[in-house]
Amino acid sequence: MKKICILVVMVTMACLLGGCGSTSKVVKDMVITSEPSGATVFLDGDKVGETPLKVQTFFTWNKEELYNSLLRRVIQVKKEGFESQIRDMYPIDMPNLHFLLNRENVTGEKK
């Protein structure tokens, strides 16, 4: 399934950027929200702000050196007392990402 997603992304990027030079860049605005809000957002491991957040991100496509292309970004959302969530984001993804955060399971809790 993951290989199919990567193939779809590669074909999409080839169609979008086919007429461009050897290296092309696609820039997208992304709106990242969470419930509850106030979660810390990381893009490829770098802290970029807290939800709700509008961030500009980019993808690159290098026709000659596919392995030097950046076709996937990783979004992680963390909030104290809630389980962290991680999602892969590709150029074909919608510009809005919403995270529903689940409370952490506290072990040893008495009922």
Can you give the three-state secondary structure of 70-100, one letter per residue?
Answer: ECCEEEEEECCCECCEEEEECCCCCCEEEEE
Mean pLDDT for each consecutive 10-residue tract of the chain (111 residues)? 54 51 79 96 95 89 72 90 91 82 76 45
d(CA 34, CA 51): 6
Tell how far CA 62 is from the center of its chain.
Answer: 20
| SS3 state at 43 | strand
Residue 41's nearest CA partner among 60, 24, 54 is 54
Q: What is the DSSP letter of 44?
A: T
Q: Which amino acid is at 34?
A: S
Domain ranges of the chain: 2-100
Q: Which amino acid is at 81?
A: G
As its CATH architecture, domain 2-100 has Sandwich (2.60)
In sequence order, the 6+-apart residues with CB closer than 8 A to the CB of 64 are: 22
Q: What is the pTM of this model?
A: 0.68
